[in-house]
Amino acid sequence: MTIEIKRSTKPIDYKESINFLEDRVSKLINGKSKELIWILEHPHVYTAGTSYNENELLDKSIKLIKTSRGGKITYHGPGQIICYFVLNLNNRKKDIRKLVSILETTIIQTLKEFKIESFNDKKNIGIWVKNKSKLQKVAAIGVKVKKWIAYHGFSINVDNDLEYYKKIKPCGLEGNKIINLNVIKKNNYNNLKIKIIKNLIINLKKWVFLFLIIF
């Protein structure tokens, strides 16, 4: 399993990043490139997935970018870590549910290293925390599959401005249900990106190893 690790230090334009991912997908389908894990941040942007409904947009003046990923409307911006990937599911039993489970496990494991307990929800995809008796979402997941090549990724709110979420129903959620790590627990999250990469690679390797044994 050979995966290219890409880390961007400056915010990357959303459309530019998606074009890069889609080009990598095409190359991987044709056997001309490696798999990819890419850690980055975006400038302020609102995006809508394939399940988007117009009533999720509360501020009609917002410029919205429609995408091919799964999910509803969401916001990206500085202080939110994005983990994009391009992964070949042909080598992983073509199991999309297992991939989503690995993404969830990776986020939960990573947050636990910062002493933050989190969990998934079968009804609402993503990762949640219990903050002062209130359930709030701290990470979102969106995946698309083309010829069994999975891409897009997940986002973790670290210290982003939560006011931007008030202009939409993020992930279709009503009310104040989005939170970031800095609100949950003041901490130094500088090495969060490294831990995400480490945990994701470990979990992907376990998946391939178990698949080879079962197969």
Which positions are annotated as active-site residues?
171
The residue type at 4: E
Nearest CA-CA partner of 117 in 136, 98, 103, 100: 136
> Given the structure tokens 């991912």, which residue do they identify?
21
Helices 96-112 + 192-214 axis angle, to 10? 140
> What is the β-pairing status of strands 45-48 and 3-7?
unpaired
Angle at 104 between CA 200 and CA 143, to 5 degrees: 85
